[in-house]
Each structure stands twice: as C-alpha cells, then as structure tokens.
Structure 1
Amino acid sequence: MARPHAAALLEDAYTNRKAALFAARGWGTRIVPSTGYGSTAQLRLFGRVLFTRGRPEDEPEEDTYAARLRSVELETRGWRAFFATPAVDEPVTIRVNERIVTTRTDRGGYIDLVVRGHGLAPGWHRVFLDSPRAQPIDVPVVVVGSTVTHGIISDIDDTVITTSLPRPMIAAWNTFVRSEGARRPVPGMATMYRELLASQPDAPVVYLSTGAWNTAPQLTRFLDRSGYPAGPMLLTDWGPTNTGWFRSGQEHKRAQLHRLARELPNVRWLLVGDDGQHDPGIYGEFAARRPDRVRGIAIRELTAGEQVLSHVIPLATDDIAPTPRERLEVPVARGPDGYDLLERVRGIWEQDARVRTLREYASSVVTDVDDPPEYLVDGPDER
C-alpha cells in the first residue's frame, strides 16, 4: 500500500493529539446524524462521531433526531464545525430492524456503511446508531421501492441556497461568519420540488454537493425550514486526503452520480444544478454516458452579478467550456429561478406518466389479438 500523503499524516497527528487530551479530561462523544438511503436490497448509512464536552449521561432526556440535530447545530455552528475533533477508529453499532451491524469510524470520524438484507419495506424508516462513549440516536433513512422510476438529484450552493460559491472570500464569510438563518433560499426552487413530487410522492430527492460534511446539520435545518423535501445529502470531507492536500469536488459529484445509477437502477433522475460552477459539464457528461438513467437536466441561470461573485467573470461556466449539448439524448431546461424552471421541466417530469397511461389503455383494448401492433404495446420512444 502506498504511503499516505504528508498532509494526511500531519492532520492525523494533530487529531490524535487533541483526541488524547480530550479523552484524558473525561470528554465523551456525540453522534452526528445524517439521513441515509437505499433500495429494498441494501441501505447506505451515514454518521460522524465527534468529541464533546461532558458525558453521555449529561445529555438531555429528549433525544429525538430533531433535538439531537438542533443540539449538534448549536455546538458546531459556523467556524466550530471545522475545528471539531473527530473520534477516530471509534466503534459504532447500527441496528436496522432486527439486524445488528458493527463498524468503526474513519480518520475523519465518519461512517459510510452499506447494510444488505435489512428487511425494510419502501418508505421512510428509522435506524439506530450507538457508540460506547455517546448517547444512541435514531437516524432517518429512505428506502426506494423497485417500482419507483422518478427521482431528483439537486445541487445545493446557488441552486437551492444563495452562497455565491466558490469565490474563497465569499465562501469563507458564508461558512465561518454568517449564521445559517442569514442565508437565503433561491426563489421558487422549493415550490418546484414540491410540485414535482405531488405527482410522484415516492420519488427520492438527493442533495449532491461539494460542500463539507461539517455543515450537514445546518444545511438540513435550512432545507427543512425553507420548505424543501427531506432527503439524504452527499457531501465531501474538506481537507487533506491520503493522496493530496484537497479532494476533487468534481470527481466527488461524478462518482456519486454513477453510484446512484448503480444502486437505484430503476430510477431516471432529473438533475438540477446551476451554471455558476461545473454542473452543466458534469451533468452533460453523465447524461451522455448514461442516458437511460437521466430524465432531464434543469439548470438555474445565475445573474451576471452572481456569476461575478461565483468565478470573477460574468459568464456561465458552460459558455466558457460548452458541454456536448448537441449529442445529449435527454432534454435540458434553463431558467433564472424555480418558478420559471417548473414550467419548463413539468413535461419532462411527466413524460413516463403519459407513456404508462398509453400502455394501460393499449392493454385494455387490445385483448383478442395474438400479435398487437408494436406502437400499442411499446408506446412512444421513452428516450
């Protein structure tokens, strides 16, 4: 095995030093919950274990997911989230239904675990995470049924929340100084998601971002308060890795898109992003390679001022480096906000519903023909 990068070795040494100091002072740990997802065959579960002042028995008696999320948010708000000390190699026990699974946290205190044979029906459920030095916590997970064909993958920064990323100074201000309540939702995006889910209530919503896992509690509460549908977040761990000083956010998005395509093969996704970073190129590349997994692409167009704050010049990223739109086999919709996009993506979202209606009609009227016409059986091209 290759030697870890020097940056990772330095970070590990610093983390271990702090952890030993806190453990000697009698500090306990806290499990930071995060929503999981999966199919009827397997679940993907997330969490993080951090050192916290006090002991598990000092925790409040009301220990619901919402109460724990609020408690974590208060303790790790703003800059504190990036200086929290992870509990490395900490044992964690997961109880899913009647099944018990054990694992250990990684060098960042995280768990990202796949549990197979869980026995949960489609829908929302609770799983339980426990660790020796922490209070147990119940965590929500969504199980996507095998008959679900619709889903939404949404970017976060400048798509559902205005943060003007990735310009370093603005990003630092929003992350380290401003409170979560000072951020603003993008107009109409929550309305668009709710309207689309009204016709497909079982469709999963996955929030895919290059943002840091450290901000997950704050982002979860922001999305909930702003009216966005609940769903898992796939974020990144900022900082040194075993291969370099920083991980690639673009590669993170590409990898997660392909993983979702493998894990939920019946779902065709509406990919929602903005033109201020790399979403058009990443989504276009994925759609060109996997058109069978993409329902359509919806891009929120930033204003010239937002483009300047995002990457200095007042042009969209795909105007600088055009995506192969002419080769895409999926529709692309663009608009300045959720209200405008809703009118453009509604037909894309409802396409399969019209096809299914035609098939049901064909099967009901063509009952005495051994070889019915192909157009009645297969319906129009679903591509």
Structure 2
Amino acid sequence: MGYGNQNLIYLKGGVLENRPEFNSKATDKRRKNFRIMLSRYLSSPIPEMKVQITLGQENFATQTDDYGYFSAWVEPNQALKPGWHQVEYSINEGDTEICRVLGEFLIVGDKAEFGTISDIDDTILVSHATRLFKKLRLILTKNAKTRLPFEGVAEFYQKLKASENPFFYVSSSEWNLYEFLQDFFLVRNIPKGPFLLQEYKSGLRDLLFTGGGSHQHKQDKIKRLMALFPNLKFILIGDSGQRDTEIYRQALHEFPNRILAVYIRKIGKKDDFDEKTTQEFKEKGVPLLMLENTEMAKNHAKEMGFITK
C-alpha cells in the first residue's frame, strides 16, 4: 500500500516465502485462528530480490532490503486524480515472470480539508496492549471477523473522512498483520487508509511481544506525512496506554500550525495529562483531550467544525 501527492508517491511492500492465504470466518474455531496467526509470524522474508513496479504504462525498479522489504519513491509522468489507484508489482527470472500482485495507493488532492493520523491498537481496535495475557488471548483465539472496535469509532471516523479527507494509520503493529487489519477495517466499515506499520518480524517470540518496541518509528512516519503533504493540517488520535501523547507532543513542536487537535483514548488508570504537556498544548492553541469514550471526541469535533453532524 502507498500514498502520495500528484507529483510524488511512496510505495512499500515485501517479498515473503511460505506465506499462506489467510481467509477467516466469524464461525472459525479457536484452533484455526491460532494456527493462522502463528503462520503470519513464520513466513520467511526474501532479501535482495528485484521488484518491478508498473504504474499504468510506466515501469520502475526497486529491490528488497535485508529484511525482505522494499520502499520506493515514484515520480509518475501521468496525471493522477485524487483517490485510490492500482499498482502492479512483479518479480522476474530472466524473461520469465514468476510472480505478479496488485497493490493500491492513495493520492491526496487539494480538496482535502485536513487529514487524520490514528493509532490502531486500543485506539480503534480493542487490544489490551498493555496487558500481556489479555492481549495474547485476543490475538491467538480471535480473527478479523470477531475482534471488536471501540464503540462509535467507525461512525466518527467516517464523519471525519467526509468526501476527501484522508486517513493514515500509524501503528506499532507489524507488517505481519497487514491482511488482518485490512480485513478488520473492511468488516467494521472503518475508513480505508494506508497502514504505516512496524517492520516485519519473524518467530514465536516476536508474536508474543507484537506491538512492542520504542514506538519511535511512529514519529518518523509522521514526519514523512508532514513533508509529503506540506499544506495539509492533521488531527492526531491515539491512546494513553503507550507513548502516543509524547509522540504527538513532539509533532506539536516540530510542525507548528499543522496540528488541529489531539484526541487520546484513556486506557487503564491514567486520568489526565501531566501539567507540562497540558501547558505546552495550551500555549500552542491546540486542543488536547483525554477521552472516556468516542462520543467525547465526536462532540468536540462538532464544536470545532471538523464534522458537520
């Protein structure tokens, strides 16, 4: 999946072997869900693999890194309208094509009023990310059809999206979970948007500690979005369970006048922000809200004019 403006597009993907098809149903038993989730972390990345990117009549070349992933900045000659577009990725051995898959990328147009950058775990998707055993129970026994979003998220996000306001999902979930997240968002009618995830991980230990790490990668991805869309302001949405407030606070200072509001879902016992953080947001004139529920964010967004009803 990728994203860009009408002059420059960022595309990212991976080349893996032993990657089965993941087709889940709401009626699937726990054993099947466990087996599928385990297999997501047992595929092997293929490094130094040449990949051809085909965009309409234009071709571009890239190569996977040591972890089996590729990223490419593409400058198309053709004019691309705002919205979603298809791109083809292929792998060839000599004159023989051995693999071809379709991907998508989002072009953000001038009519977008603002963008939304949202975390996923415990912001959209009930995950218990700070409680290891509860988290593992959900991950290993349920699937995209049976996992639950927080109440009201889909409706609120659809209102924020309106007609052309883009969504970007910046999460510490790994690329292993890409298909799961894609399926979950579709089933729950959450606005489609590029997933900006942690790098692919492999092995049982990585599955047990999925979503962990320093979360600094989120800041790097936010910087990329800010640079690619210099005229777009953003609403930032996260939760108090990890470091979203601190990461968004960094963005507040690094990108003045680019942040419209920050919504943080309350997770656990944390009731409020520290005094320093509250003061910094107040001085910048950016609303910072700790949310008991999605309705609080929706009501504030109405007051601010981010949504109309």
Sort the TM-score into its range (normalised by shorter chain): 0.7 to 0.9
Q: 1:249 Cα deviation (Å)? A: 3.7
**What TM-score comes out, normalization by structure 1 length?**
0.68
Matches within 5 A, 1:246-257: 248-257=213-222
Distance 1:77 1:113, change over 3 A: farther
Q: What CA deviation, in whole Å up to 9, does each residue of 1:58-112 have, x standing for no partner?
A: xxxxxxxxxx7759xx998311111111111111111112210111111221122
Alignment counterpart, residue 215 of structure 1, candidates 177, 183, 186: 177
Query: Residue 145 of structure 1 corresponds to which residue in structure 2?
Result: 109
- 1:235 and 2:197 equivalent? yes
Q: 1:330 Cα deviation (Å)? A: 1.4
- 1:315 and 2:270 equivalent? yes
Q: What CA deviation, in whole Å up to 9, does each residue of 1:194-249 have, x standing for no partner?
A: 11222xx1111000011111001101110111110100000002659xxxxx9954
Query: Residue 295 of structure 1 corresponds to which residue in structure 2?
Result: 260
Return structure 1 stretches of 4+ with deviation > 6 angstroms.
none
Alignment counterpart, residue 59 of structure 2, candidates 78, 93, 100: 100
- 1:91 and 2:50 equivalent? yes
Distance 1:340 1:316, change over 3 A: closer
CA RMSD of aligned residues (A): 3.0
State the alpha-carbon separation in 2 of the partners of residues 148 and 106 from structure 1. 34
Query: Residue 6 of structure 1 corresponds to which residue in structure 2?
Result: none
One-letter amino acid of the counterpart of residue 45, structure 1: L
Distance 1:126 1:70, change over 3 A: farther
Report if the CA contact (8 A) 2:22-2:36 is conserved. no
Query: Residue 37 of structure 1 corresponds to which residue in structure 2?
Result: 3
Q: What CA deviation, in whole Å up to 9, does each residue of 1:263-295 have, x standing for no partner?
A: 011110010111221111211221133132211
Q: 1:147 Cα deviation (Å)? A: 4.3
- 1:127 and 2:97 equivalent? no
Alignment counterpart, residue 36 of structure 2, candidates 61, 64, 77: 77
Distance 1:214 1:315, change over 3 A: same
Q: 1:316 Cα deviation (Å)? A: 5.1
One-letter amino acid of the counterpart of residue 315, structure 1: K
Q: 1:259 Cα deviation (Å)? A: 1.2
State the alpha-carbon separation in 1 of the partners of residues 77 and 231 from structure 2. 19
Segment of structure 1 superposing worse, 315-324 or 133-142? 315-324
Report if the CA contact (8 A) 1:281-1:318 is conserved. no
Secondary structure at the counterpart of residue 135 of structure 1: strand
Query: Residue 155 of structure 1 corresponds to which residue in structure 2?
Result: 119
- 1:265 and 2:227 equivalent? no
Q: How many residues align?
A: 287
Query: Residue 208 of structure 2 corresponds to which residue in structure 1?
Result: none
Query: Residue 287 of structure 2 corresponds to which residue in structure 1?
Result: 331
One-letter amino acid of the counterpart of residue 15, structure 2: V
Alignment counterpart, residue 286 of structure 1, candidates 236, 251, 255: 251
Secondary structure at the counterpart of residue 173 of structure 2: strand
Stretches of structure 2 that go unaligned for 5 or more consecutive residues are 25-32, 203-210
Q: 1:322 Cα deviation (Å)? A: 4.5
- 1:346 and 2:305 equivalent? no
State the alpha-carbon separation in 2 of the partners of residues 289 and 87 from structure 1. 36
Distance 1:257 1:285, change over 3 A: same
Report if the CA contact (8 A) 1:189-1:337 is conserved. no
State the alpha-carbon separation in 2 of the partners of residues 225 and 118 from structure 1. 36
One-letter amino acid of the counterpart of residue 46, structure 2: A
Distance 1:188 1:340, change over 3 A: same
State the alpha-carbon separation in 2 of the partners of residues 76 and 349 from structure 1. 46
One-letter amino acid of the counterpart of residue 282, structure 2: E
Report if the CA contact (8 A) 2:41-2:201 is conserved. no
State the alpha-carbon separation in 2 of the partners of residues 327 and 161 from structure 1. 32
Q: What CA deviation, in whole Å up to 9, does each residue of 1:122-148 have, x standing for no partner?
A: 221111111137431221111012443
